[in-house]
Amino acid sequence: MSDERDLVRRCLAREERAYRELIRRYQTPVVNLAWRITGNPEDAAEVGQETFIRVLRSLHTYDPERPLKTWLFKIAANLALDAIRRRKRRPVSIQDLFDEDEGPPLDPVEPGPGPAELHESRQSAGRFDELVREMPEHYQAILFLRYREDLAYEEIAEALGIPLGTVKVRLHRAHEILRRKLTARGAKP
């Protein structure tokens, strides 16, 4: 936490190295969150870029008593939801239908599971993502913040700017919707 405070203080002092460090440290989680919410790598990259532009412009409003990552996620989640709303109003091109990008490139941090486990995990994650994208936007954001970013309920409430009770209710309703969708598709919830 004090490391975050120091980084913010240095950014506010307009240290270019501090700006680079802030972006280096949080770019991957922010873009991943945006990609999970939007389901589109181009939108995710755009949301990531816009997030850091807004962060640098409004860093003076950041409360250092709160986690920096949560504040960044709040900005990114709102921008991602805006991107979804814009996309709904935008016609889809034929090229968009045949684009099979998997998302933004990610650098592996450590060796993970073997190929079979990884394939099964990706299929399961893909099915989860597919089911979630069929849901209303406010459920999508909460599910991705909870299960992809492992945020606590309080952090989700702060990131989305909604009351804690609303997070709990929406998460419960989202679970019910997912359960019904899985049952309708013949899968065990």
Q: Where are the domains of the chain?
A: 1-94, 113-189
In this structure, the number of other CB atoms found within 10 A of the CB of residue 107 comes to 5
Class at the top of the CATH hierarchy for domain 1-94: mainly alpha
pLDDT above 60 for 185: yes
Q: Which amino acid is at 179?
A: R
Which band of pLDDT confidence, cut at 50, 70 and 90, is reported for residue 106?
very low
Burial class (CB within 10 angstroms; exposed 0-12, middle 13-18, buried 19+) of 59: middle
pTM greater than 0.75: no
Q: Can you give the pLDDT at residue 178?
A: 85
Which band of pLDDT confidence, cut at 50, 70 and 90, is reported for residue 123?
low
Torsion sign across C-alpha atoms 72, 77, 82, 84: positive
C-alpha–C-alpha distance, residues 105 and 107, integer Å: 7
Q: 99 vs 42, 84, 104, CA distance in Å?
A: 11, 17, 13
Can you read off the two tokens belonging to residue 59?
């860093």
Q: 131 vs 12, 73, 151, CA distance in Å?
A: 42, 22, 20
Q: Can you give the pLDDT at residue 189?
A: 59
Same topology, domains 1-94 and 113-189? Answer is: no
Arithmetic mean of pLDDT, 26-45: 89
The CATH architecture of the domain made up of 113-189 is Orthogonal Bundle (1.10)
What percentage of the chain reaches a pLDDT higher than 90?
Answer: 26
Arithmetic mean of pLDDT, 159-169: 90
Residues in the chain: 189
CB distance 125 to 172 below 8 Å = no
CB distance 75 to 54 below 8 Å = yes
Phi-psi region of 186 (alpha: psi -120 to 50; beta: other; left: phi over 0): left
